[in-house]
Amino acid sequence: MGDEVDDSTNSSSRLLLVLFLLMGASSLVASHDGLLYDSTAYTKCLGKPARPLYNGGILKDIKITSASNDSSPSLSLCNLTQVTKYSFSSWVKIDGADSALIRVSLRTENELYSCIGNVMARSGCWSFLKGGFTLSSPSNATLSFQGPGSTDVTIAIESASLQPFTDEQWRKSQYHIINKVRKRPVTIHVTDENGERLQGVDIQVKQVSKEFPFGSAIAKTILGNIPYQKWFVERFNAAVFENELKWYATEPEQGKINYTIADQMLKFVRESGATVRGHNIFWEDPKYTPAWVGNLMGLDLEKAVKARITSLLDRYKKEFVHWDVSNELLHFNFYEQRLGPNATLDFFKTVHESDPLATLFLNEFNVVETCSDVSSSVDGYILKLRELRRGGVSMDGIGLESHFDAPNIPLMRAVIDKLATLGLPIWLTEVDISNKFDKKTQAVYLEEVLREGFSHPSVNGIMMWTALHPYGCYQMCLTDADFRNLPTGDVVDKLLREWRTEDIQGQTDEYGSYSFFGFLGEYSVTLEHGNGTATSTFALSQGEETKHVTIHL
């Protein structure tokens, strides 16, 4: 930003920041062809704000004027278009409180977007806010910073940036990341028994499995249902039980533990070769806590939760790659209310001691879906994760439930950017789209969410919440009851094909080599040369360099 914001104004002062964006949409698009998204994010409060992303984007060189009588900054935006994704960021500092959740809203001529980004700002230092929006129609707009309604907080901003992306530019950024982190170049060298390179060898390469976990929830309805099982196995390499491992399902009455259904489902998953997540050990929402647990206090509750962990882990140690140790802790705190503020920390430590190779997750909703939910701000999630780490938790991960209404894709990406600064595994754990939309609209939104998740370098896996029941699914199904694809199923099948290396046929060159660019995973290779044949396999894992594979024929 060209001019500095005066941060010495007290809480009774009022600040008005007015930015007039005079450039038209067509000139903006033309001037940013080939632009790649900047995933830079900060989660620590700094003494000075960093430089604005994209050098300010379309806010570059626009002078900020200030006036008195407003403690909440506003930006007036002109000529915004509906075919554009806008990435917004700013550094924020407050006065009048030690800390406060600052939300940015956007009002157009016809609509109000109640939150396009938020940050837990502090006094005395600068906090980084990152978000974004996509408009449903072209419009001028006013972007406003707002603090808690019950406190008199003055907000200062610096290094603001607003960067427009066309859909084509956004997609190019996605492909750029996919090619960088989901794929890798391979060179296969073919030699004879003396180590001499062989030219003109017929080569066939087939990807037999994918490294990236992409799956769905399943329910007990899959047991004995051969068409359902076949449909699942043909598509997915990861699974999670919808309800069958939850405490209310395995121990509805104290001491009467029954893992029969879970065991049968685990047997199916083992046979399919899929990765399986453990969901969940404790659910903080008292509505989903077993009724008998809700009646326990003190030592009786402590004994019950320890028995729950011991029972699960004695039976399923090393079976589940993840455990959702605490579900929806940002919204509910059943156990911490009764067992003290260290209850969750103790859960994680005990589970880690019992199953040290499993990754242990907090799992939460309304973190990437929206920023309007003050209970689950991205900074609030980061704060909780850091508290657990300071307490000694290790092997931890970030679960983002991802139950979307109409997705705000630039906000989704910005939130994951901030979470990624922690360096922890991030999974989209329960992806679906609200059933308030028709099936075609669900499919459009689902594709946007899945593409965004797969193309973010810090997302390690995606699970959809699409377990099929006689009544349908929780919010969104992929097929009808006869396993005929719905529009959402067509989207999934299209992406599964797109994110897989097609079968390759070719010949080695004059150097006895054949090169290709493939998605990460396991591959089989078949060679034919004269009367000689050979088969081999290799694994393609993430790396910056070309993978070299030598096969003797």
**How many other C-beta atoms lie within 10 A of the C-beta of residue 140?**
14
- For residue 60, the model assigns a pLDDT of 81
Mean pLDDT of 153-158: 94
Residue 376 to residue 383: CA distance in whole angstroms: 11
546 SS3 class: coil
Rounded to 5°, angle at Cα 167 from 164 and 168: 105
Mean pLDDT of 256-283: 98
Residue 203 to residue 507: CA distance in whole angstroms: 6
Res. 13: pLDDT tops 90: no
CA quadruple 480, 483, 489, 492: dihedral, nearest 10: 150
Write down the H helix ranges in 371-527. 378-390, 409-420, 439-455, 487-498
- For residue 234, the model assigns a pLDDT of 97
Residue showing tokens 């006036």: 67
Q: Could you report the per-residue pLDDT of 29-84, keeping only the tens digit for each?
A: 333 456 899 999 999 999 999 999 999 999 886 554 433 445 689 988 988 998 89
Residue 161 to residue 123: CA distance in whole angstroms: 22
**C-alpha separations of 516 from 205, 328, 502 in Å:** 10, 44, 11
DSSP 62: P
Q: Could you report the per-residue pLDDT of 424-459, keeping only the tens digit for each?
A: 999 999 999 999 999 999 999 999 999 999 999 999
141 residue type, one letter: A
Mean pLDDT of 100-121: 95
Residue 143 to residue 88: CA distance in whole angstroms: 10
Residue 38 to residue 129: CA distance in whole angstroms: 14
Strands 238-241, 275-278: pairing kind:
parallel
Res. 4: pLDDT tops 90: no
Question: In degrees rounded to 5, what are phi and psi of residue 360?
Answer: -110, 125
Residue 162 to residue 89: CA distance in whole angstroms: 7
Q: Which two tokens stand for residue 354?
A: 């019992």
Q: Could you report the per-residue pLDDT of 310-361, keeping only the tens digit for each?
A: 999 999 999 999 999 999 999 999 999 999 999 999 999 999 999 999 999 9
- For residue 63, the model assigns a pLDDT of 52
- For residue 33, the model assigns a pLDDT of 54
Question: Which of 173, 145, 160, 170 has its CA nearest to residue 50?
Answer: 160
412 residue type, one letter: M
Res. 289: pLDDT tops 80: yes
Percent of the chain with pLDDT over 70: 92
Residue 157 to residue 119: CA distance in whole angstroms: 12
Question: Which of 130, 172, 175 has its CA nearest to residue 455?
Answer: 175
Mean pLDDT of 371-399: 96
Residue 41 to residue 521: CA distance in whole angstroms: 30
- 485 preceded by cis ω (within 30°)? no
132: left (phi over 0), alpha (psi -120 to 50) or beta: left
Residue 32 to residue 53: CA distance in whole angstroms: 14
Residue showing tokens 């809480």: 11
Question: Which of 513, 515, 464, 518 has its CA nearest to residue 208?
Answer: 518
Which residues have C-beta within 8 Å of that of residue 13, sequence separation ≥ 6? Answer: 68, 69, 71, 154
- Using 50, 70 and 90 to split pLDDT, how confident is the model at 149? confident
Q: Which two tokens stand for residue 528?
A: 């034919």
Residue 402 to residue 479: CA distance in whole angstroms: 20
Q: Could you report the per-residue pLDDT of 290-315, keeping only the tens digit for each?
A: 999 999 999 999 999 999 999 999 99
Q: Which residue has the higher pLDDT, 83 or 156?
A: 156
| Residues classed as catalytic | 328, 430
| Sheet arrangement for strand 112-122 | 74-80, 139-146, 99-108, 112-122
- For residue 29, the model assigns a pLDDT of 32
Cβ 293 vs Cβ 282: under 8 Å = no
210 residue type, one letter: K
Mean pLDDT of 199-203: 97
Q: Could you report the per-residue pLDDT of 495-553, keeping only the tens digit for each?
A: 999 999 999 999 999 999 999 999 999 999 999 998 889 999 999 999 999 999 999 98
Q: Could you report the per-residue pLDDT of 461-506, keeping only the tens digit for each?
A: 999 999 999 999 999 999 999 999 999 999 999 999 999 999 999 9
Query: SS3 sequence, 465-486?
Result: CCCCECCECCCCCCECCCCCEC
- Domains along the sequence of the chain with CATH: 53-165 (2.60.120.260), 183-194+196-205+501-552 (2.60.40.10), 213-488 (3.20.20.80)
- For residue 531, the model assigns a pLDDT of 87
Residue showing tokens 């009467």: 256
Res. 26: pLDDT tops 70: no
- What burial letters (b/e) apply to 15-50, b meaning 16+ CB within 10 Å? bbbebebeeebeebbeebeebebbbebbbebeeebe
237 SS3 class: coil
Which residues have C-beta within 8 Å of that of residue 115, sequence separation ≥ 6? Answer: 103, 104, 105, 131, 370, 371, 372
Percent of the chain with pLDDT over 90: 86
Residue 171 to residue 164: CA distance in whole angstroms: 13
**C-alpha separations of 166 from 84, 108, 441 in Å:** 5, 19, 21
C-alpha of 469 from chain center: 26
Which residues have C-beta within 8 Å of that of residue 341, sequence separation ≥ 6? Answer: none
The overall average pLDDT reported for the chain is 91
- For residue 62, the model assigns a pLDDT of 58
DSSP 164-215: EEEHHHHHHHHHHHIIIIIEEEEEEEEE-TTS-B-SS-EEEEEEEEESS-EE
- For residue 430, the model assigns a pLDDT of 98
Q: Which two tokens stand for residue 476?
A: 């969104």
48: left (phi over 0), alpha (psi -120 to 50) or beta: beta
DSSP 376: G
- For residue 102, the model assigns a pLDDT of 97
